[in-house]
C-alpha cells in the first residue's frame, strides 16, 4: 500500500486512457442538467471548481447536500480515470462541515490515500473561496478487470 499513481498497480490490472462520455452527470458537457465539471490533474491531485446555482439549492441560499456529495463523488471517482485506470466506486463516506452558499465558487480536489491490489482508497475535499472546508469524503474504488470492462461495455 502507498500513495502515488493509481495506474501503477499489479501488471494484470487494466490501465486505460480516459474516455470522455458527453452525457456524464458530473463531467459531461452535453448533459443539460449535469454539473459539467472541468477537472484537471495537478501532480497527484485532481482539482475542479464549481459555482452552484439556484437550481442546486436545498434550504434557501444553501447548496443541497446531494449536490455536495455528487461533487465529491465525481472528483474521487475521476481521479482514477485521469491517472489511466478504470474503476467503479465500492463505497463512499461524506462529512458535511459547513453550509455552502449558492452563487459562491467551491474548489474541489481529490487524492489517493493508499492502494492494495485492486482496491484504492481516495479522499476528497470541497472548500469555499475563503478556504473553509465545507465537506470532505473518503471512498474505496475498485479497478476493473478486462472481463468486467467487457461485461459493462467499457472495454
3-state secondary structure of 124: strand
| pLDDT at position 5 | 52
pLDDT at 2: 40
What's the distance, CA 101 to chain centroid? 21
d(CA 120, CA 141): 5
pLDDT score of 31: 86
Q: Where are the beta strands (DSSP E) in the chain?
A: 40-42, 45-50, 87-96, 106-116, 119-128, 133-143
Q: So what's the pLDDT on residue 155?
A: 65
Q: What pLDDT was estimated at residue 90?
A: 96
Q: What angle do CA 51, 21, 46 make, to 5 degrees?
A: 50
Q: How many Å is the Cα radius of gyration of the chain? A: 16
pTM reported for the whole predicted model: 0.84
Mode of pairing for the β-strands spanning 45-50 and 87-96:
unpaired
The pLDDT of residue 1 is 35
CATH node for 40-151: 3.10.129.10
Alpha-carbon gap, residue 27 to 99, rounded angstroms: 23
Give me the tens of pLDDT residue by residue for the chain, a chain 155 residues long.
344 555 554 444 444 444 667 888 778 888 888 788 888 988 999 999 999 999 999 999 999 999 999 999 999 999 988 888 888 999 999 999 999 999 999 999 999 999 999 999 999 999 999 999 999 999 999 998 888 888 877 76
What confidence score (pLDDT) does residue 21 get?
A: 75
Amino acid at each position: 500500500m502507498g500513495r502515488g499513481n493509481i495506474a501503477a498497480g499489479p501488471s494484470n490490472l487494466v490501465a486505460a486512457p480516459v474516455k470522455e462520455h458527453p452525457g456524464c452527470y458530473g463531467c459531461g458537457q452535453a448533459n443539460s442538467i449535469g454539473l459539467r465539471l472541468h477537472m484537471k490533474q495537478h501532480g497527484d491531485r485532481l482539482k475542479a471548481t464549481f459555482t452552484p446555482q439556484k437550481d442546486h439549492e436545498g434550504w434557501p441560499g444553501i447548496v443541497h447536500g446531494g449536490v455536495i456529495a455528487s461533487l465529491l463523488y465525481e472528483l474521487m471517482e475521476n481521479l482514477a480515470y485521469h491517472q489511466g485506470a478504470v474503476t467503479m466506486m465500492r463505497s463512499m463516506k461524506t462529512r458535511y462541515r459547513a453550509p455552502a452558499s449558492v452563487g459562491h465558487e467551491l474548489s474541489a480536489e481529490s487524492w489517493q490515500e493508499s492502494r492494495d491490489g485492486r482496491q484504492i482508497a481516495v479522499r476528497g475535499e470541497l472548500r469555499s473561496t475563503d478556504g473553509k472546508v465545507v465537506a470532505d469524503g473518503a471512498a474505496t474504488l475498485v479497478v476493473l478487470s478486462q472481463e468486467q470492462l467487457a461485461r459493462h461495455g467499457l472495454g
